[in-house]
A and B are shown apart, each in its own frame.
Chain A
Amino acid sequence: MTSSNQYDAIIIGGGHNGLVAAAYLARAGKKVVVLERRHIVGGAAVTEEIFPGYKFTEFSYVVSLLRPEIIRDLELPKHGLKILPLPSTFTPTENGDYLAAWDDHDLTRREIYRHSPKDAEAYDEYARVMARAAKAIKPIINLIPPDPTSLSMRDMLGLLKVGQFAASLSEKELYAIAKLATQSSADLLEEWFETDALKGTKAASGIIGTFLGPRSPGTAYVLLHHYMGEIDGAFRAWGFAKNGSGGVSGSILNAAQALGVEIRVNASVKQVIVKNGHAVGVALENGDELQSKVVMSAADPKRTFLQFVEGKHFPDEFVTSIQNFRTRGSSGKVNIALSELPNFTALPFEKGHESVLHRGAVSISPSIDYIERAYDDAKYGQISKRPYLDMIFPSMIDPDMAPPGQHVMSCFVQYAPYDLEGGWNDEKRNELGEAVISTIEQYAPNIRKCIVGMQVISPKDIEAIAGITGGNIFHGELLLHQIFFLRPTPQWADFRTPLKGYYFGAAGAHPGGGVMGAAGMLAAKEILKDGM
């Protein structure tokens, strides 16, 4: 065995969390290698030219909560990171009108006022209540989840912090949070609003990445999760990364390499090598073996615990609870290369005079019922006939995403169930693409003739390409029973695992999915705390 295969830490998976963890470890002077199954790193945060000249931000497409301290610690701006603003949401309605919201408070109020004077003001107050709740909860995100049943000093101190935090809340905030934790997003929104398109658009953010509908309890919390990105004011990192999500991974990759991290692509992991109850290295599919003091997995929980490590190294109970971890993929992605921007009936424009709204998100979410009906299809194993779509035109935000004058379009589509009746195949993939295009066509009739090329990604494809079991975009649904000290499983939410020397730092760990980097960073810090 050569010393070149000897490391302090091996990181399995070159997604953004894996890269962040590697960079933090290297920054602490450790010798680190990242093993990536594909030919490129980035995981679900990749940008690829599927059609020459058109860059697709293939899977993830917005930066929601990339931790500001990661940006600073790793000097990501120096390594190419630019997060461009994504300031508006445009929801065309079924009657040919639309509802828009953007980052100017007065303008948004006026726009909603057109639909309902009452909602215009409720919107303000709702945003404040949500932002206050998010602000109140946010300190917990950076906390290593304490185990409430443990008597260790660290857990006790952690619990104390959570307790202090709860005590610092006003009665109103506490009630708001209690409600958010238990309600469905539909119930919550119906308490506030009467405009269908407003409720639909808000409700949509409560179901993203879950296999639930807006009327399912627990979805209100997910709404709050999405508000987290909105409370940092000028410091917020919500937006579209230059060069798409691959731009985020690219900058972390550059930072990691500058810190001395070794990257191995086309390096598929076969198994974690365990000696004397301790993870000591990794065996690759190609027969290579690498040794290390610790191994961290940045893959999804099922791969991490059920595939890379033999079951005998874990307690049965742990294996069972990982088996029960919900990773139901419910969404797909359609990336489209366009010869020109589609013209929305509700937002006509002439070339060169695009609306500001073309630079923001377009949401097909005309009502809560619309989304619930889309869920009804999925519940019984079908692709939604009329799905919820969250679309952006990356080329309108970053002109370098497409050839001059041409465009790319990113369409997040829900629901596309992983467990499709009859299974996924080319025909079903076409059906998903057709559901998306015919849905868009209702609002932008010229969409078909703008299409130059199209990539349809099913949850099966997310699994096959990005390597996420079940194709769930958050590596496991953000449900109340799968967050905080329960993520991925009780007692093991502190990035450690029952196998000594084996760590877990990805979206399936606390604090969850999104291009956040928090799990990778927190895991790296725990690894360093344990010494190696």
Chain B
Amino acid sequence: MIELRTTPFHERTSALCQPQNWRKWAGYFAAGSYEHTLDREYWAIRNSAALIDVSPLIKYVIKGKDAAALLHRVTTRDIYKMKVGQVAYTGWCDEEGKMIDDGTVSRLDETTFRLTAAEPNLRWLSMNAVGMEVEITEVTDDIAALSFQGPNTRKVLNKITKKSVDELKYFRLMKNKINEMEITVSRTGYTGDLGYEIWMDAKDALNIWDALMNAGADYGITPVGILALDMTRVEAGLFMLDVDYTSASHAWIESQKSSPFELGLDWTVNLDKQGYFVGRRALEKEKREGSVWKMVGLEVDWVGMEKIFKQVGLPPQIPGMAVRGSLPIFVGNVQVGYASTSTWSPVLKKYIALAHLQKPYFEVGTDVRMEITVEHHRQHAPAKVVKLPFYEPEWKKR
């Protein structure tokens, strides 16, 4: 009741979490990291196999004759075109075309979908389902989820899954088994690397965790917390609700809201899809008239950083983890936007940020300056607008 809930993996994760740096995630305990520094966990994602407990993700099963119709109506994707076994990333908007939340839609069979979300959405879904033949059930507690990310994950899975995952394509899912326990494997993640998400009955969670840890022992399998995950998702150009944007249903003022176009989600807004969907008119208008804001990638110029730090006799100092603090972005002396998450990228050896810039400064190649603090003084570090994602290994989709 009054305590935070623990996930079905807690017996394992709590024994491993050395720094005891638990974070609160949707009412659950989530390990910040398992070791005192993030390096090994970060590199497990980029170089071997990272095992991340993502059970707190809010999950709904949407079932019934009109399940597709409901999701088609609520989200910006063309759900009717989704095949069974397909997964689609999507945002969903209010009537004004402003983002409420984002997540993935999985088509489990003709009339059954699973939707993940950062925030509770049952009420929003139910309000949109009036008169439809559809049943919406929250299954957050019932379904445990592991994100298994990194270049070695396919090899590890193939050792223990009943069916090989070799043929499983990017953003597809398959039913499978580990130790005769039913699982769903989707080729998805939040890292921009090769990776899978494994969905299982909560009662099987520990057994499957153990099977993966055993199978992965020779492949560098490493339990990874959400702090290292946060660094990789920035490299992958993926944003986070309440960090990089504010839900339209939480915003206090209009300017806190964002449209999917403003977040760079143009590719998820299927304006050519048939029929009405929530926010359609506003999004069509924005498409016609162009967006005023856009989320882009920023690469801070290292030489410029060195110059600024050299003035006080220091080499550049950068926090070793993702920073969820707003940093003003300037062109000349005019503020043209802000960075919402910034991080050191160990694989790129670059200081990068997700930034929200006003027209016309969001064009790729634009030179801007980002505010940083150097020995307690504000300075402007030169930076350039770049295309997202920052990092996309060729094996991500192969």
Contacts and interface: CB of A to CB of B under 8 A. Distances in A.
B128 interface: no
A106 B138 contact: no
A100 B250 contact: no
B27 A121 contact: no
B191 to A, nearest CB: 25
Interface in B2-43: 2, 4-5, 24, 26-27
A91 to B, nearest CB: 13
Contacts of B254: 170
A357 B2 CA distance: 8
Contacts of B4: 106-107
A27 interface: no
B232 to A, nearest CB: 25
Contacts of B122: 117-118, 120-121
Contact of B123 (A100, A106, A118, A357): A118
B27 A106 contact: yes
A78 interface: no
Contact of B250 (A106, A107, A128, A355): A128
Nearest to B138: A117
B2 A106 contact: no
A124 B120 contact: yes
Interface string A109-135: 111000001101110110010001001
B207 interface: no
Interface in B242-268: 249-250, 252, 254
A102 B4 CA distance: 13
B373 interface: no
Contacts of B138: 117
A100 B3 CA distance: 12
Contacts of A118: 122-123, 126
B241 to A, nearest CB: 14
A356 interface: yes
Interface in B163-183: none
A122 B122 CA distance: 9
Contacts of A170: 254
Interface range for B: 10 to 19
A102 B2 CA distance: 9
Given A100-B2, A110-B5, A110-B27, A121 B249 contact: no
Q: Would you call the interface of chain A mostly helix, strand, loop, or mixed?
A: helix
Interface string B310-338: 00000000000000000000000000000
Contacts of B124: 121
B120 A111 contact: no
A183 B120 CA distance: 28
A164 to B, nearest CB: 16
B4 to A, nearest CB: 7
A121 B123 contact: yes
A111 B123 contact: no
A125 B123 contact: yes
Contacts, number: 39
Interface in B120-135: 120-124, 126
Q: Would you call the interface of chain B mostly helix, strand, loop, or mixed?
A: loop
Interface string A477-502: 00000000000000000000000000
Interface in A134-169: 135
A278 B19 CA distance: 73
Contacts of A120: 120, 122
Nearest to A106: B27
A402 to B, nearest CB: 24
Given A107-B2, A107-B4, A356-B2, A122 B252 contact: no
Given A100-B2, A122-B123, A109 B27 contact: yes
B160 to A, nearest CB: 33
Contacts of A111: 1
Interface string A91-115: 0000000001010001101110000
A135 B27 contact: no
A285 B138 CA distance: 69
A179 to B, nearest CB: 18
A122 B250 CA distance: 13
Contact of A128 (B121, B126, B249): B249
Contacts of A355: 2
A436 to B, nearest CB: 27
Given A117-B138, A357-B2, A107 B123 contact: no
Nearest to A124: B120
Nearest to B56: A106
Contacts of B121: 121
A118 B223 CA distance: 35
B249 A125 contact: yes
Contacts of B252: 132, 135
Interface in B90-139: 120-124, 126, 138
B2 A121 contact: no
Contacts of B27: 106-107, 109-110
A439 B28 CA distance: 36
A132 B249 CA distance: 11
A357 B1 CA distance: 11
Contacts of B120: 109, 120-121, 124
Contacts of B126: 118
Interface in A308-366: 355-357
Given A100-B1, A121-B120, A106 B26 contact: yes
Contacts of A128: 249-250
A132 B2 CA distance: 27
Nearest to B4: A107
A294 to B, nearest CB: 41
A5 B1 CA distance: 61
Interface string B130-169: 0000000010000000000000000000000000000000
Contacts of A124: 120
Contacts of B5: 110
Contacts of B26: 106
Interface string A164-186: 00000010000000000000000
A512 B126 CA distance: 40
A109 B120 CA distance: 9
A118 B124 CA distance: 10
B249 A106 contact: no
A216 to B, nearest CB: 28
A96 to B, nearest CB: 15
B59 to A, nearest CB: 13
A396 B77 CA distance: 53
Nearest to B26: A106
Interface string B266-284: 0000000000000000000
A381 B252 CA distance: 45
Contacts of A109: 27, 120
A312 B121 CA distance: 64
Interface string B32-73: 000000000000000000000000000000000000000000
A356 B4 CA distance: 13
A107 B2 CA distance: 7
Contacts of A121: 120-124
Contacts of A100: 1-2
B229 to A, nearest CB: 19
A170 B120 CA distance: 24
Contacts of B249: 125, 128
* 6 A-B pairs with the lowest CB-CB distances in the bound complex, closest first: A106-B27, A121-B123, A121-B120, A110-B27, A121-B122, A356-B2
23 contacts: A100-B1, A100-B2, A106-B24, A106-B26, A106-B27, A107-B2, A107-B4, A109-B27, A109-B120, A110-B5, A110-B27, A117-B122, A117-B138, A118-B122, A120-B120, A121-B123, A121-B124, A122-B123, A125-B249, A128-B249, A128-B250, A356-B2, A357-B2
Given A100-B2, A106-B26, A124-B120, 7 more contacts: A106-B24, A111-B1, A118-B123, A118-B126, A125-B249, A128-B249, A357-B2
Interface of B: 1-2, 4-5, 24, 26-27, 120-124, 126, 138, 249-250, 252, 254
Interface of A: 100, 102, 106-107, 109-111, 117-118, 120-122, 124-125, 128, 132, 135, 170, 355-357
